[in-house]
Amino acid sequence: MADLRSHATHAWRRRLPGWLTGDDEPLSWPLQPPNETTALADPDDVAAWASAWRACEGRGITVEWVERSWRSLGRQRLPARVRADAGAVARLIGETASWERARYAARSLQEQWPDAAFGEAIRSSARGLARLDRQDVDRLVAVLGWLADHPDSGLFERELPVEGVDTKWYERHRRLVESLLPAVTGSQATPRRHWPAFRVRLPGEPGDLRCDLGALRGLAVNASRVLICENLTTVITLPDLPDTVAVHGMGFAAPSLADVAWIREADVYYWGDLDTYGFQILGRVRAALPGIRSLMMDEKTLDDWRGLAVTEPNPYRGEVGHLTLAELGALAAVRAGDLRLEQERIGRDYARVRLFAALGPSPTA
């Protein structure tokens, strides 16, 4: 059974999209039944093994049996292969809640737009759909519906008049919206406007640049380090850091920076808010840029500036992946008090010392 669970874990990661759209077969796993010599060596163990597989049948798990005729033990019926549907696989590896969330989301989309060709869009969005609770699914359907009904509204993302949807919600779910909307509208056009996603400060250059992702890819950058900051104010007020490009990551848009070659090839650092969403963004950025290092997202910084922290009104309660042990400790401290310490609240002199310690010579040099 342990081997089956291991196989099921790998299959879940690979085949969830196909299972969600009904395009993939159930998991099939050969059991390699024992031969007569093995059975004679320990008949009780073999009998217990066969009984255990018999007890597993049902609730999406089927076992194929073969008969063997052995000279010493007579006719024996042995399990030869097990098959498990998506729900059974999810149950085996503790992902039942994710499977139910994903199914509810896919079903809601298909019921709302029964004529839409959702197949590929749902497959590409499967893991994102599996993270949505029912309220967020309802918000997603509402956003898609509003955008489809108002293709020429000219509104910016922050202005969408959809109940329960704020800027942070849209930033967190932007990829889902943009992946699913073409299936709803039948067009690749995205009927909404947003400000250029990124502001960039180049080393030694006055001011900053505004550019979308395409323009960012085309920049001729000669710097070995990149500092991604969650908030724009921080980028604007940074000291001139040698050999370092500073980029405003636009919150949950930050993982898309992994599409920029000169960022992928640099030493990348991330500085965000000390709150649950700041760590969620950090985890998502590190999933896209595995070598990224965080700055001032630690327990010491939180303790040093705790007096300026506020209560986070709607903290993120879900799992946050791709964090280091130190970052997990800071996240636990934030969650213990539902705290939010925005990076702008950290004093400039304090931040300057920490930044230069990581990114350049001493600020007094």
Instruction: Mark which of 36, 68, 92 sits at the end of a domain.
Output: 92
For residue 289, what pLDDT is reported?
95
Is residue 66 in a domain? Answer: yes
Q: Do 167 and 212 reside in the same domain of the chain?
A: no
Q: Do 340 and 258 reside in the same domain of the chain?
A: yes
Q: Do 50 and 117 reside in the same domain of the chain?
A: no
Using a pLDDT cut of 90, give the percent of the chain over it: 47
Is residue 365 in a domain? Answer: no
Q: pTM higher than 0.75 for the full model? A: no
> Could you read off the pLDDT of 244-280 as tens digits, one per residue?
999 998 888 899 899 999 999 999 999 999 999 999 9
Q: Do 80 and 102 reside in the same domain of the chain?
A: no
Q: Do 328 and 210 reside in the same domain of the chain?
A: yes
- Which residue is associated with the tokens 């304090």? 350
Is residue 271 in a domain? Answer: yes
Q: Which of 125-129, 184-188, 308-312 comes out lowest in average pLDDT? A: 184-188
For residue 193, what pLDDT is reported?
54
Q: Which of 9-13, 17-21, 156-160 comes out lowest in average pLDDT? A: 156-160
Nearest to 300 by CA among 321, 326, 339: 326
Which whole number is the average pLDDT over 99-124?
Answer: 93
CA atoms within 13 A on the CB side of 144: 28
Rounded to whole angstroms, the Cα distance separating 271 from 38 reads 60
Rounded to whole angstroms, the Cα distance separating 258 from 52 reads 47
Give every strand in the sheet of 244-248, ordered side by side.
209-211, 198-201, 244-248, 225-229, 267-271, 293-294
Is residue 364 in a domain? Answer: no
Angle at alpha carbon of residue 207, lines to 201 and 209, rounded to 5°: 55
Which whole number is the average pLDDT over 70-90?
Answer: 87
166-178: burial string, b at 16+ Cβ within 10 Å, e else: eeebbbbbbebbe
For residue 43, what pLDDT is reported?
85
Instruction: Mark which of 36, 57, 92 sits at the end of a domain.
Output: 92
Q: Do 180 and 255 reside in the same domain of the chain?
A: no
Q: Do 128 and 171 reside in the same domain of the chain?
A: yes
Is residue 190 in a domain? Answer: no
> Number of folded domains in the chain?
3
Q: Do 204 and 326 reside in the same domain of the chain?
A: yes
Is residue 192 in a domain? Answer: no
Q: Do 227 and 347 reside in the same domain of the chain?
A: yes
Q: Do 288 and 141 reside in the same domain of the chain?
A: no
Amino acid in position 306: R
Going by pLDDT thresholds of 50, 70 and 90, the confidence category of residue 189 is: low
Going by pLDDT thresholds of 50, 70 and 90, the confidence category of residue 365 is: very low
Contact by Cβ (8 Å): 359, 241: yes
For residue 238, what pLDDT is reported?
93
For residue 144, what pLDDT is reported?
93
Is residue 112 in a domain? Answer: yes
- What are residue 75's DSSP bridge partners? 69
Highest-confidence range of 3-7, 31-35, 49-53, 146-150, by mean pLDDT?
Answer: 146-150
> Could you read off the pLDDT of 162-180 as tens digits, one per residue?
888 876 788 788 889 989 9
For residue 247, what pLDDT is reported?
96
Mean pLDDT of all residues belonging to the chain:
88
Instruction: Mark which of 130, 158, 185 sits at the end of a domain.
Output: 185
For residue 364, what pLDDT is reported?
44
CA atoms within 13 A on the CB side of 101: 17
User: What are the backbone angles phi and psi of residue 102, rounded to the nearest 5°?
Assistant: -65, -40
Going by pLDDT thresholds of 50, 70 and 90, the confidence category of residue 153 is: confident
Rounded to whole angstroms, the Cα distance separating 242 from 357 reads 12
pLDDT at 285 over 80: yes
Which whole number is the average pLDDT over 202-211?
Answer: 84
Rounded to whole angstroms, the Cα distance separating 278 from 331 reads 9
Where residue 259 sits, what CATH number does that domain have? 3.40.1360.10
Q: What is the DSSP string of 152-173?
A: T---BGGG---TT--HHHHHHH
pLDDT at 363 over 50: no
Is residue 204 in a domain? Answer: yes
First-residue to last-residue Cα distance in the chain: 62
Going by pLDDT thresholds of 50, 70 and 90, the confidence category of residue 104 is: very high
Rounded to whole angstroms, the Cα distance separating 272 from 35 reads 60
User: What are the backbone angles phi and psi of residue 26, rounded to the nearest 5°?
Assistant: -60, 160
Task: Record the tokens describing residue 354, joined without a space.
Answer: 């920490």
Domain residues for the domain of 164 are 96-185
Q: Do 232 and 303 reside in the same domain of the chain?
A: yes
- What are residue 58's DSSP bridge partners? 61
Q: Do 227 and 355 reside in the same domain of the chain?
A: yes
Rounded to whole angstroms, the Cα distance separating 182 from 173 reads 15
CA atoms within 13 A on the CB side of 157: 18
For residue 213, what pLDDT is reported?
86
Q: Which of 28-42, 107-121, 237-251, 276-290 comes out lowest in average pLDDT? A: 28-42
Which whole number is the average pLDDT over 232-247?
Answer: 92
Rounded to whole angstroms, the Cα distance separating 250 from 279 reads 14
Higher pLDDT, 100 or 10: 100
Using a pLDDT cut of 70, give the percent of the chain over it: 94
